[in-house]
Each structure stands twice: as C-alpha cells, then as structure tokens.
Amino acid sequence: KAGVTQTPRYLIKTRGQQVTLSCSPISGHRSVSWYQQTPGQGLQFLFEYFSETQRNKGNFPGRFSGRQFSNSRSEMNVSTLELGDSALYLCASSLFPGNTEAFFGQGTRLTVV
Amino acid sequence: GQQLNQSPQSMFIQEGEDVSMNCTSSSIFNTWLWYKQDPGEGPVLLIALYKAGELTSNGRLTAQFGITRKDSFLNISASIPSDVGIYFCAGLARSGGSNYKLTFGKGTLLTVNP
C-alpha cells in the first residue's frame, strides 16, 4: 500500500511568485490536511479537505489556498510568495476528518529567495 | 488560541538511558498524540491517548493522558541510537461534527550518544 506522496520534494521560488504543491493520499483516504513547519513556529495547521470541500481552516492569510479533486488528491497554492513562506509543507491523509490515524508525507521543502 | 508547551526543547542522553518529555496546555483536549519525525521525513504517529488518565505503551514507549486533560507525557526506556529525532506532542480538541483543532507542540530534539 503506497504511502502519502508529496511533489515536488524541493522547490525554490522568488518573492512575489506563486507556487502549487501536490499531495496524493493513501488509497481509500478521503481527508487531506496541510501543515506548515518552520523552526520558529513548529507545525501549524493550514487547512483540511474532505470530499472536495474545505472542512477546517487554520489562521493563515488568504494567499494560502487549496483544493481537493474527486480522486482525493489535493493541491495547495501560495500566491505572492514572501520570504517568511519558506518552510516544509506537509500533508497528512486519513480516512475522515479528525481521525487520529493520520499519515504524513515526506513534505515539500519550499525556499523563497 | 490553544498553545502547547512542550519540554524540554532538546535532550542529549547516553544510549541505554531513559527519557521523559511532556506537554502542558491551558486548554482541555479530547485526544493527545505523540509523533516522531526523522530528518527529511514527515511525522509518524507513535501513540494516541483518548481518555483522561489513560496510560498506553508501544514497545519501549509509554505515554499518559493527564487527569486534567491539559497535559501528557512520553517516556522512552532504554534509549537506542535510532531513537534520535524530533518528538512532537499534539492535542486534538473536537467542537462538534467534523470540526476539530489539532495543535502541535514545538518539539523535543532527542540526541542519543552511542
């Protein structure tokens, strides 16, 4: 059974650009959550999608958005990148929202220069 | 908002020693979770605690859900080099239906000297 797949693994972008990250959950999992991990702030919840609908949202500006497709794959988008957006972006998949049996991907390391 | 205070921030121990780390909060949680993150990887769930006072073991790991529901600890016995990594606590608070909030601690960096 394949795990959670995030692409790309590494990304370098310039301030002001936008970026799209992808997450393919474990087969059969319909809930995908996104997190931002930085040394200073730790792991912070961005949002969660279930059945193509955003179910929960953290305290991030509107520049951070996401969506989920009918096959449960999810993408997150960050527009107008800022230096402070440099982070490891992790997604986690689970059967349903709030399920503690969530599995994380390896993450996408985004560097904004 | 909910915040978790995880301590210690880092630990340097000798192989074979026992380790203890804890998380406290001013908020009540329905579930406490402990994760381990290896370099270049995402966090992996180690133990989930669902009831106040619950004590759960997973091999050399033992964790407890505090009676007040505002704290939890994780113990690792007889540490080995592969225990190296960052350990995170997380508290899950449910607010009805599918609404919930998962808050992570800042992590404890564990280094084990062989």
What would the mean pLDDT of B36-46 be, rounded to a whole number? Answer: 93
**Which residue among B43, B102, B107 places its CB closest to the CB of A104?**
B43
Residue in A closest to B107 by C-alpha = A42
Tell me how far apart the alpha carbons of residues B35 and B87 are, in angstroms, rounded to a whole number.
6
Q: What is the pLDDT of residues B45-74, one digit of tens each?
A: 999 999 999 999 999 999 999 999 999 999
| Mean of all residue pLDDT scores within chain A | 94
Three-state secondary structure of chain B: CCCEEEECCEEEEECCCCEEEEEEECCCCCEEEEEEECCCCCCEEEEEECCCCCEEEECCEEEEECCCCCEEEEEECCCCHHHCEEEEEEEEEECCCCCEEEEECCCEEEEEEC
Tell me how far apart the alpha carbons of residues A32 and A111 are, in angstroms, rounded to a whole number.
23
Interface check B105 vs A, CB under 8 A? yes
Percent of chain B with pLDDT over 90: 83
Tokens of A14: 């310039």
Q: What is the pLDDT of residues A94-108, one digit of tens each?
A: 998 888 788 999 999
DSSP state of A69: -
- Contact list, A59 vs chain B (CB under 8 Å): 1
- Contact list, A44 vs chain B (CB under 8 Å): 104
Tell me how far apart the alpha carbons of residues B42 and A12 are, in angstroms, rounded to a whole number.
20
The whole-number pLDDT of residue A18 equals 98
CA-based nearest distance B27→chain A, Å = 17
